[in-house]
Structure 1
Amino acid sequence: MSLVRFRFLLPLLVLTAAAFPARADEMLLATNDLSSRRISASESKAGPDVDFLREIARRSDADLKVAQMPLGRGLASMQSGAVDVMAGLSYRDEQARYIVYTDTPYSRCSTAFYTLNGQSKEIRDYRDLSGRQIGYVLHSTYFDRFDKDGNLNKVGVPEEQTLIDMLLKRRISVMIGTDCQVDYHLRHLGLTSTIEKAPYGPGNAVVLFLGVSKKSAWAQRIGALNRIIRDLVDEGYVERIGREFYRTPS
């Protein structure tokens, strides 16, 4: 091709590239965030985890897709590589076989027990859990004493929404969960005057990370994701969305 002809075609090539920009990389998020059932990732209020991942995707020039599924199926999808990322994960050696955890946690919470309003005062000590049906999410770990206690009457279900429904229907008397996540759901479901937190809590720290499937192409970009999460924490972004999502809706 002659230089003159190339100079003639160059503006056309630039215009074509502008008209058809390169497609952003896709990032598929598996979440059991209750709000994601009703709100898509493109809407303004999609739940704290989705909002957090949406900002990570934006800074990564990625197209975020959201797949709502129970925790167990989400972990299985991470293991197979069917999804790319999950948020709200505590570090577990077993899961680290197929998940790369980011090096900076983005949230710190604690384990809590919840009952119907007026009943929480009955649970002031770990021993008060004895004889009660306690709902928990399958494949979750809470704190060592509870996880290993085979004498408690535990009822495992796939997701937190089922626990809340069972508690409201009195099919269980207590549910266990991570306080920052459960408190958010109760506020946004309008249940803060119906379900309350028990005085007893183990006082443990639940540190939450973003996890990336080792079979995902995003695992090769873990360094970039680490930098983005550190920036979001340092900028106060995570704290801001926490204030937005955890305040009681009007």
Structure 2
Amino acid sequence: MTSTPPATRTAVVTGASSGIGAATARHLARAGYHVFCAARRVDRIEQLAAEVGGTPVACDVTDEASVAGLAAAVGGRLDVLVNNAGGAFGGATPVAEADSDAWRRMYDVNVIGLMQVTRALLPALVASGDGVVLNVGSTAGRIAYEGGAGYTAAKHGTQVVNETLRLELFDQPVRVMEIAPGMVKTEEFGLVRFDGDEEKAMAAYAGVAEPLVADDVAEAIAWMVSRPSHVSIDELVIRPKAQAAQHKVHRVF
């Protein structure tokens, strides 16, 4: 495990084993942070931490004991928390055909998990004197669409927790931010949502020449958390140019 020099700025990134999380860890490391790469897949975060000079921490955000282990690994001071762990499960089914377990999983990771990690690390963020909590939401947390009620409900939950936390911490040295990406093409999000069905996973990007990629979002996250301490980027919505709105996407076949 890599030791952290006392003067080094520190960051935690959850869901760091792939996609936006892994890209964010790389961007923050390049910006000078010692990154605690947190995720369930130990082999992946060990490789990532070795690459960026960070610390791998096995963590399931839905498990309180696991989150307590993350807090213990971080210690008494933390500069940045990126709550990136999340996901969609159960495909794109209408409410009339919804899977209750898939809905519970989505709420558990996107809302309860976010809360548990934030709650556990808030003392360390306050102790830094200039902490940042950045929650990775989604444009799905702002508008409904057919077949997406479980995910949109969970990501609306992410947004509301973010807004509430900002109100509750208004007099503390902690800024609370959210980035809400639109269409981002990563290697796993769609596959997880559609239980490994690659055809369904790729259908969302059909005809879109340039969807966002993980690096686009990670670069924006690194910019947000590095603003001067009096500047809070409360909310940043980021989409590919092709996506004018959730239902209006330029596709060329």
TM-score with structure 1 length normalisation? 0.30
Specify which structure has the bigger relative contact order, considering alpha-carbon pairs within 8 angstroms and separated by 6 or more residues.
1
TM-score with structure 2 length normalisation? 0.30
Please state which structure has a larger fraction of its residues in strand. 1
